[in-house]
Amino acid sequence: MSLLLFFCTFLFLLSKNTIANDIMVQKEHLSVGKTLVSSGQTFEFGFFSTNNTKNLYLGIWFKNITPITVVWVANRNHPLTDSAGVFTITDDGNIAVLNGSKIAIWSSKSSRSVGNPVVQLLESGNLVLKDDSASYLWQSFDYPTDTRLPGMKLGLDLKNGFSWYLTSWKNVNDPSLGDYSYGMDITGLPQFVILNASTKQFRSGVWNGVLYTGLVGFKLMDIFRNINDINADEVTSTFENKGNDSSVITRELLNERGKLQRFRWDKQTMKWIEMLVLPRDKCDAYNHCGINSICNIAISRTCECLQGFTAISPEQWSINNWTDGCVRKANLECASDIFVQIEGLKLPDMINFLVNQSMSLKECDSECRRNCSCTAYSNSDIREGGSGCILWFDDLFDVRKFSFVPLNQHLFLRLASSEGEPIFNNTKKKKKNSQVLMKVLVSVGSGVFFFCLVIFLIIWRTRRTDTVLNDGERRNDLDLPLFDLITIQSATNNFSHTNKVGEGGYGPVYKGKTSEGQEIAVKRLSKDSGQGSIEFKNEVILIAKLQHRNLVKLLGCCIQGEEKILVYEYMPNASLDYFIFDKKRSKLLDWDTRLSIVKCIAKGLLYLHQDSSLRIVHRDLKASNILLDWNMNPKISDFGMARLLGGEQTEAKTERLAGTYGYMSPEYAVDGHFSVKSDVFSFGVLVLETMSGKRNRGFYHDSHHHNLLGHAWILWNEGTPCELMEPGLEDSNFATSQKVLRCIQVGLLCVQTLPEDRPSMSAVVYMLSSENSLLLEPKEPGFFFERSLDDHTNSYPRNSENQVTNSLVAR
């Protein structure tokens, strides 16, 4: 019996052809179709071919990942064209690829001759050639192609004059040497650069003893730990998976378009998840704003001249062509020049420079003053209060500003004395004034924009056909209480003003008490719903069937003459906006409550989108439509309104019922396209508002003119998203901040510009509830520029509303 079992196992292994064999000795060879597999089954080594060609390449790939993900290629420029080729250890102890005529088309060219060489594919993905001695004779990790794995070095071996760098493939199907490379530049202080042939595309900014000044934005949730080794012998950087978790599979790729990406394999979805990409934004593009300027994603125009400088070509500059950069307003006078201090910069590139690591900042200052072509200086090392000196001469290249990162390094910029006082003196006041002016200009601009948007909407709405709300079931078998008007009138004290608790876009809401003592909320719908009573009743019955603990419960309705009234359960704790936007009341919502509120809203919305029979798009999700019960459980209200009020049939009505500025997705606001993904956008806004305690619209910040989404996006890019968190809540600690951070990231994913990039609500619920699930890197949000029109109402300004109606009547 046991013998049978043994053979069975043996046969099984044979048939799967996975006899783990990670070693090959001299005189053996590996022919096409045969592979070495690393001991833990992670990597496989052998010949592979790409999609378009019959070319064969020797390489290493992930064994259990499809489609094949190659991490290293030996003969990238010399493919094998016949399947009679082999991989072998040659007599002189090198490894080589021999073609059918036994001619080496690739070899390791190791110069040391050895005894008993063996080749081994390690579990790290490193292919090594070794003998009886301790060190490797050759290893693939020393000859990277386009991929870096944990443990691989990038940088320079100064002792042996050897450098490790990545080079891209020509295209996804051609591993031969492409145009792009990524490696360490030590012209001055060390920095990483991505080159296109020999043109800089991106640089990390110089190393200042603690970090690369342009890479401050690495995310807190980054799963990689970067290890920098900067000393007299070596300037290198490696990365490892946080916690050294060997079950986590990661890689860094310089792709064929010159982007550096970091990926993690997600075992659940069987997909590579992009965790980081460089360049990240336009300010990462090398010298994006031209010389002597500052690139800053936090300002609406992105580029500004350095203090004391002005655009070389003002007309080009005014149409956002930054090519020429900036020039001094006043010529330097040398002896009487002053230096202004600028904070938070990715320091200028090392073009014309001097570095002296043993100078103090004071010596640096006098050295720069002494030479008239010295334009700026800075400490070269920020550790222990700062030391060393960098001097820049002539024009300054590729400077970017971070608004929220406390970089403890200043640039001292030389200016003619006429260009004003050092920055910390009077200049602050001036800046304030110009900011106020800016603000006014932006307000005027956005007013015009708003107007145009309304016109747009009118045009689009009149042409649009809505398709999202499908018909669903139409059975009338539900017992929905029909209240009569008299009952409701007496419950609400005849719709008395004192009973009014709110005014939504669809009409006023009153608190009431039935004769049995039950508290109810009564929504008196605007009279012009444009739908017949029977249809309306059918709709109410359908909507009433939607039952979920995170939806406000519809108790009944009343249809009498012109009156259409909905009766809901009464929610004692008002709505979410009542708490989060109020200085005092917001303290009542601690982090646990906020996180739970966000999760519950997500579940309610998922129910509307997917799980209910009606598949409803809410279209007006916002903080004031989230009601809270005694236990602060949130319930979505006003769902199904578009259906109830016949929004589908009459465009004019849809117009008035459409969502709320600040919560509307770009495709909805501009094109009138709505879908579940426009609700997802509104949900994202709601999440960011709940985490920050700030309204999206009407958001104000000293250092930029964006709304809350823009603010969150800047903080995210600069690696400080926790700044968004409402300050001063009692249960703030590291564990909660990690949860909040996840929530903010989900929020940002939801407000991405393109609907197809936004997750579905089921993905959102999953991401919020499983704390170890992987999150994508969010892309730029939609509508993150500022508009300062007040927004506390639900509908459009009166005049334009009238215009809408009129224009429709006229048609």
**Residues acting as catalytic residues:** 620
Closest CB to ligand NAG among 53 and 356? 356
Count of residues for the chain? 811
> Nearest residue to ligand NAG, using CB?
100
Q: Are 668 and 754 in contact (CB under 8 A)?
A: no
Residue closer to ligand NAG by CB (options 255, 443) is 255
User: 695 Cβ partners below 8 Å, 6+ apart?
Assistant: 581, 662, 689, 708, 791
Q: Is 512 left (phi over 0), alpha (psi -120 to 50) or beta?
A: beta
User: C-beta of 262: minimal distance to ligand NAG in Å?
Assistant: 18
Which amino acid, 73? V
Peptide bond into 778 cis (omega under 30): no
Select 380 or 593, whichever has its Cβ closest to ligand NAG: 380
- Cα–Cα distance measured from residue 63 to residue 1, given in angstroms and rounded to the nearest whole number: 34
How far is the C-alpha of 4 from the C-alpha of 519, rounded, in Å? 75
CA dist., res. 182 & res. 276, Å (int): 15
Residue closer to ligand NAG by CB (options 424, 734) is 424
* C-alpha distance across the termini of the chain, in Å: 88
CA 171 to chain centre: 26
CB of 65 to ligand NAG, least distance (A): 14
Query: What angle separates helix 734-750 from helix 676-692, to the nearest 10 degrees?
Result: 150
Q: Nearer to ligand NAG by C-beta: 8 or 103?
A: 103
Tell me the residue type at 168: S
Nearer to ligand NAG, 101 or 160 (CB): 101
Distance CA 301, CA 296 (A): 8
User: 192 - beta bridge partners?
Assistant: 184
Which residues, listed in sequence order, are joined to residue 560 by a DSSP beta bridge?
563
- For residue 331 the two structure tokens come to 């010529």
Rank residues 100 and 572 by Cβ distance to ligand NAG and give the closer one: 100
Nearer to ligand NAG, 67 or 517 (CB): 67
* CA-to-CA dists, residue 369 to 336, 424, 522, angstroms: 9, 20, 76
In this structure, are residues 146 and 253 in contact, taking their beta carbons and an 8 Å threshold? yes
The token pair that represents 433 in the structure block: 């004034």
Q: How far is the CB of 521 from ligand NAG (least distance, A)?
A: 55
Beta pairing partners, 508? 503
Q: How far is the CB of 10 from ligand NAG (least distance, A)?
A: 34
Q: Is the CB of 13 or the CB of 103 nearer to ligand NAG?
A: 103
Beta bridge partners of 236: 155, 229
User: What are phi and psi for residue 253, nearest 5 degrees?
Assistant: -130, 135
The least distance separating ligand NAG from the CB of residue 556, rounded to whole angstroms, comes to 56
Spatial contact of 469 and 648, defined as CB atoms under 8 Å apart: yes
Indicate the burial class of 222 (C-beta count within 10 angstroms; 0-12, 13-18, 19 or more).
middle
Taking alpha carbons only, the member of 218, 251, 305 closest to residue 125 is 251
Among candidate residues 292, 308, 293, the one with its CA nearest the CA of residue 420:
308
Name which of 318 and 613 has its Cβ closer to ligand NAG: 318
Please, what is the minimum distance in Å from the beta carbon of residue 101 to ligand NAG? 4
- Which is nearer to ligand NAG, 387 or 560 (by Cβ)? 387
CB contact at 8 A, 658 and 665: no
Rounded to a whole number of angstroms, the minimum distance from the CB of residue 603 to ligand NAG is: 36
Q: For residues 334 and 369, is the Cβ–Cβ distance under 8 A?
A: no
Residue 123 CB, nearest approach to ligand NAG (Å): 11
103's CB contacts (< 8 A; 6+ apart) are none
Burial class (CB in 10 A: 0-12, 13-18, 19+), 522: buried
Beta bridge partners of residue 354, listed in sequence order:
391
Summarize as ranges the residues that interact with ligand NAG (CB under 6 A): 51, 67, 82, 99-101, 103, 172-173, 179, 196, 240, 244, 258, 313, 316, 321, 323-324, 354, 356, 358-359, 363, 371, 373, 393, 421-422, 424-425
Minimal CA–CA distance to 53: which of 30, 79, 28, 86?
79
Query: The tokens 């046991």 sit on which residue?
Result: 2
Q: Closest separation between CB of residue 240 and ligand NAG, Å?
A: 5
